[in-house]
Amino acid sequence: MSAKNHCNCARVDEEDLYPKLEEMIAQHKGKPTELIMALHKAQNLFGYLPKKAQELISERLNVPISTVCGVISFYSFFSTVPKGRHTVKVCLGTACYVRGGQQTLKKVEKELNTKVGSTTEDRRYSVDIVRCIGACGLAPAVLVDKDVYGRVKSTKLMDILGKYE
C-alpha cells in the first residue's frame, strides 16, 4: 500500500472508531476523576486526540471542555496532532546532547521535512525529543518505536528510518 493511500484510509477509519470509543469509555461515564484514563484510551485508539474525541469525552464524563484541553496540554504523552505510524524520538539528555544529539535532531527534521511534535504528511513518522533513555553509553541515541539505535551519525540516519514503513 502506498503511503498516500494509507493516509486517506486513516481518515476514513477515524470516523469508524467512535463507536469503539463510546464502548471503551462507557465505564467512565459521569466520572470526572477518570478523565486521564479515558484520554489514555482514546489516544491509544486514534493515535492522538482528535477534537471530536475530546468533545465526546467532555460530554460523557461531565468534565468541562476547557478542563479536558488543559489536562491534555499539560501531559506531554497526550497529543492533539495525528501521530505517524512510527515515532522517532531523538534523545537530548546530557550525554546525547554533548555528543551531537542536537545535530541528529536537525538532520531528522530536515530529512523528514517536519518539526518536533509534528507528523510527516504521509503519517509515516512523528518526531519527538526525549530527555535520556538510559542509553548514555550509546550517545547520541535515537529511539524508533521501541528500538534503540546508538551512536547515530547523520549518515546512518536515513538507513535506520528507511526500515520503518
Partner 1 sequence: MNAIKAQINHMEVEVQEGTTILDAAKKVGFTIPTLCHHADLKPQGSCGICVVEVEGFPAMKRACMTEMVNGWKIHTNSARVRAVRKTLLELILSNHEMDCPICIKNNACELQRLAATLGMTTLKYPQNFQKKKIDNTSVAIVRNPNKCILCGRCVQVCTEIQTVNALALSMRGFNTVITDAFDAGLGNSVCVNCGQCIVYCPVGALYEKSCVDKVWEVINDPGKHVVVQEAPAVRATLGEEFGMEPGSLVSGKMHATLRRMRFDAVFDTNFAADLTILEEGTEIVDRVKNGGKLPVITSCSPGWIKFMETFYPHLSEYVSTAKSPQQMFGALSKTYYSEIKGIPPEKIVSVSVMPCTAKKFECNRPEMNSSRYQDVDYVLTTREIARMMKEAGIDLKEMPDEPADDPMGEYSGAATIFGVTGGVMEAALRSAYFLITGKELEDLDILPVRGMEGVKEAEIDVNGLKLKVAVAHGLGNARKILDKVSTQLKNEGKSEYHIIEIMACPGGCVGGGGQPWGSNMARRARRGETLLKEDKSLPYRRSHENPSIKAIYEKYLEQPNSKKAHHLLHTHYYKRSKVDGKVILDT
Residues near partner 1 (CB under 8 A) are 51, 55, 58-59, 64-70, 73-74
Cβ closer to partner 1: 59 or 147?
59
Q: From the CB of 51, what's the least distance to partner 1, in Å? A: 7
Cβ closer to partner 1: 9 or 77?
77
Q: From the CB of 157, what's the least distance to partner 1, in Å? A: 29
Q: From the CB of 64, what's the least distance to partner 1, in Å? A: 3
Q: From the CB of 83, what's the least distance to partner 1, in Å? A: 19
Kindly report whether the peptide bond that precedes residue 82 is cis, defined as omega within 30 degrees of 0: no
Cβ burial, residue 133 (10 Å; 0-12/13-18/19+): middle
Cβ closer to partner 1: 59 or 111?
59
Handedness of CA 47, 50, 55, 56 (dihedral sign): negative
Element (H, E) at 49: none
User: Do residues 89 and 101 make contact, with C-beta atoms less than 8 angstroms apart?
Assistant: no
Cβ closer to partner 1: 5 or 73?
73
Which residue in the block uniquely carries the three cell numbers 485508539? 45
